Amino acid sequence: MASALRAAILGHIRVPVAQTLTLNGSKLSLFGAVRSMSSHGDDHLTREEVIDRVLDVVKSFPKVDASKVSPDVHFQKDLGLDSLDNVEIVFALEEEFKLEIPDIEADKIDSCPLAIEYIYNHPMAG
Partner 1 sequence: MSASASYLARRAVQKERVRILYRRALKDTLNWAVHRHLFYQDASELREKFDANKNVEGIETIERLIADGEAAYNKWRHPDPYIGKYYRKSFISP
Q: What is the 3-state secondary structure (H, E, C) of the chain?
A: CHHHHHHHHHHHCCCCCCCEEEECCEEEECCCCCCCCCCCCCCCCCHHHHHHHHHHHHHHCCCCCHHHCCCCCECCCCCCCCHHHHHHHHHHHHHHHCCCCCHHHHCCCCEHHHHHHHHHHCCCCC
Q: Which amino acid is at 89?
A: I
Q: Is 87 a binder of partner 1 (CB under 8 A)? A: yes
From 82, 85, 107, 110, active-site residue:
82
Q: Quick check: is 43 catalytic? A: no
Q: Is 73 a binder of partner 1 (CB under 8 A)? A: no
Q: Are 121 and 35 in contact (CB under 8 A)?
A: yes
Sole binder of partner 1 in the list 51, 86, 109, 112 (CB under 8 A)? 86
Minimum distance between the CB of residue 69 and partner 1, rounded to whole angstroms?
A: 21
Q: Is 77 a binder of partner 1 (CB under 8 A)? A: no
Q: Is 60 a binder of partner 1 (CB under 8 A)? A: no
Q: Is 45 a binder of partner 1 (CB under 8 A)? A: no
Q: Is 43 a binder of partner 1 (CB under 8 A)? A: no
Residues of this chain that interact with partner 1 (CB under 8 A) are: 83-84, 86-88, 90-91, 94-95, 98, 100, 103, 106-107
Q: Which residues are catalytic?
A: 82
